[in-house]
Amino acid sequence: MILHDGRQAIRGLLGVIPIAMLALPAAAQDVDPMLESADTGYYDFWVGTWVEEKDGVVDTSGSRFTVVPSVHPAAFEERWRLVLDDGTELQSTALRAWDKTAGRWMYTWVSDNGLYQVWEGRKDRHGWWIYRHFDVEGDRYLSRQGFLPQPDGSVLRISQKSYDEGDTWEIRFQQRLVRQ
């Protein structure tokens, strides 16, 4: 059947969509304030400008990112300047924030070359990690990154991938980040 005007199209779609799907679940959103906890405070160290330290030398010409507070105490905006191995620079921005409904950290990243990624937060005995599935030219894996605070004030950034949904992990790269 061909629908010739917008009203018919809308009526046609509404006949297909169950009415229950049109209402948002009451428990999914609220107007209550966020309750702070040890988990919401995990990234309290995060504000500042960060650079990589290689073999004890701070690399100010390499990748760097700046983190500023955002809309609530467990939300941070990140501005990245990534320097690739060939010297090419990539600009990106990210939002790292606590989702009070899901009870976890989430991460959204977008780059100047059109990439957009949403990562899911999960906690293990080492701290909070972000997880995302990738398919890079047929190489399918689960990726995770941890930004793990160290006693000396540095941050260990670990990127790993798994071909068995997280039963085993292999290192993609590891960086020591220091506040500049």
How is the chain split into domains, by residue range? Answer: 37-179
The confidence score (pLDDT) of residue 29 equals: 81
pTM for the predicted model, two decimal places: 0.81
Pair type for strands 57-69 and 116-124: unpaired
CA distances from 161 to 130, 131, 155 (A): 12, 9, 20
If we measure between CA atoms, which residue out of 52, 83, 41, 47 comes closest to residue 68? Answer: 47
Pair type for strands 116-124 and 127-136: antiparallel
Extract the tokens encoding 166.
């997280």
Which fold would CATH assign to domain 37-179?
Lipocalin (2.40.128)
Length of the chain: 180
* Whole-number Å distance between alpha carbons of 153 and 149: 7
The confidence score (pLDDT) of residue 27 equals: 54
Per-10-residue mean pLDDT, the chain, length 180: 46 46 57 95 97 93 95 98 93 98 97 97 96 97 97 97 98 96
